[in-house]
Amino acid sequence: MPLKELIDRDWQELESEGILFSSLEKLVAWGRSNSLWPATFGLACCAIEMMSSTNGRNDMARFGSEVFRASPRQADVMIVAGRLSKKMAPIMRRVYDQMPDPKWVISMGACASSGGMFNNYAIVQNVDSVVPVDIFVPGCPPRPEALIYAVMQLQKKVRGEAFDQLGHQLPMVDAWTR
């Protein structure tokens, strides 16, 4: 088919024949959302549930997140699983700073999100006060399915398909101005 005929045809006809139209921004966001590599930062009992999210029954590999990285320079998602002590907070911040941009954080469990039952001097009451959190996972400890749902919500956020409480579409995550 000559190029002039392609230009003259309606784009909906071309899409019905299997030719897709998209912007480079959306293509990069789609690729980025389907290859989220988490950094292991398991601090307490929630880490067991985080580990079990990769077993055969739950299989987080379906969403491109099966590769838990031990090096922060190879990861783009930090899953904070469990209570964060004030002694560990600067170390977690250093690991977060070593991650390449764009980077995201999932706070897993009641202890990471709000301090949980540990309302004392030694526990950080909200991980969001140390690093910016994108997704909060409730529960004590949350089930592996809840973490998989959080990864799916993060994928929507990265692709620009997330909505706020009023139904307004949230903007796509800009990789360089985070």
Q: Is 45 part of any known ligand binding site?
A: yes
Give backbone dihedrals phi and psi of 151, rounded to 5 degrees, phi first: -65, -40
Provide the b/e sequence for 104-135 (b: ≥16 CB within 10 Å): bbbbbbbbbbbbbebeeeebbbebbebbebbb
Q: Is 82 part of any known ligand binding site?
A: no
For residues 160 and 110, give the distance between their C-alpha atoms in angstroms, rounded to a whole number: 27
DSSP state of 54: T
Q: Is 46 part of any known ligand binding site?
A: yes
Q: Is 140 part of any known ligand binding site?
A: yes
CA-based torsion, 164, 169, 173, 174: positive or negative: negative
Binding annotation for [4Fe-4S] cluster: 45-46, 111, 140
Binding annotation: 45-46, 111, 140
